[in-house]
């Protein structure tokens, strides 16, 4: 059996995780919001308790994003840095920088297990929710990283769920355009990517037709 390569501290990875049998697991705004909260919460090394318990203790659902983000934005040691994300109905894309040994594995284990418990409890469901272990691809260059952010931000447009990426609230695209308040931001990319919001918007928009065409060809080849 081939041994999986260990993820390295300081390196950046494209992380992908898909639901089992293409099951729609992000089927409401509340479910998407839950995953956004967890992405922020499980970045830190010294999590005080399970996320579900934290929600009960802090009453986050009533008090909203601001208090939540203020909590995790304090001087806490992080195990990963989130550079970009996109939450789709059946899967999630993340671009992560590993900051601590086994940081990505621990982070992904926490969010996938936590969301499974939440989803199965909410919908009175049993069994696995995710299609095995998360997949990862090493990002080697700044150019590759920039193109990768575009690819994942265009995912909902490519799938024809929306026409404009800024209309998809379940991704980091609006953070890159500075359309979201600082308290709502999840990603940290300023010291990694030099993003000018006007140029970036054109950079992404110019690829829409091409990426949709590639997706169409991919589907034809797989049929």
β-partners of residue 98 are 80
- Kindly list the distances between the CA atom of residue 180 and the CA atoms of 20, 43, 86, in Å, as whole numbers in the listed order: 32, 20, 15
Whether the pLDDT of residue 93 is over 90: the answer is: yes
Q: Which residue from 45, 50, 99, 52 is spatially nearest to 72, judged by alpha carbons?
A: 45
125-177 pLDDT per residue, tens: 999 999 988 999 999 999 999 999 999 999 999 989 999 999 999 999 999 99
178 confidence band (pLDDT: 50, 70, 90): confident
Which fold does the domain 12-222 belong to in CATH? Answer: Alpha-Beta Plaits (3.30.70)
What is residue 220's predicted lDDT score, i.e. its pLDDT? 44
174-189 residues labelled b (16+ CB within 10 A) or e (exposed): bbbbeebeeebbbbeb
Three-class SS of residue 18?
A: strand
The domain spans of the chain are 12-222
Does the CA dihedral 145-150-153-154 come out positive or negative?
Answer: negative
Long-range contacts of 212-216 (CB under 8 A, 24+ apart): 212/157, 212/158, 212/160, 215/158, 215/159
Mean pLDDT of the chain: 86
Question: What is the C-alpha to C-alpha distance for residues 81 and 186, in angstroms, rounded to an integer?
Answer: 9
């Amino acid at each position: 059996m081939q041994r999986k390569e260990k993820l390295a501290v300081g390196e950046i990875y494209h992380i992908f995780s898909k639901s089992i049998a293409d099951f729609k697991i992000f089927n409401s705004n509340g479910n998407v919001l839950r995953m956004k909260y967890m992405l922020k919460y499980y970045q830190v090394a010294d999590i005080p308790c399970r996320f579900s318990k934290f929600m009960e203790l802090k009453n986050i659902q009533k008090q909203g994003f601001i208090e939540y983000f203020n909590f995790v934005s304090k001087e806490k040691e992080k195990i990963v840095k989130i550079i970009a994300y996109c939450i789709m109905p059946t899967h999630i894309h993340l671009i992560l920088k590993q900051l601590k040994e086994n940081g990505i594995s621990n982070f992904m284990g926490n969010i996938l297990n936590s969301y499974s418990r939440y989803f199965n409890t909410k919908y009175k469901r049993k069994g696995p929710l995710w299609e095995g272990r998360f997949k990862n691809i090493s990002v080697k260059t700044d150019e590759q990283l920039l193109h990768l952010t575009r690819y994942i931000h265009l995912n909902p447009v490519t799938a024809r769920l929306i026409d404009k990426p800024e209309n998809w609230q379940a991704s980091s695209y609006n953070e890159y355009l500075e359309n979201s308040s600082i308290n709502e931001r999840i990603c940290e990319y300023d010291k990694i990517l030099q993003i000018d919001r006007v140029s970036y918007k054109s950079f992404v928009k110019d690829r829409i037709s091409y990426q949709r065409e590639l997706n169409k060809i991919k589907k034809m080849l797989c049929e």
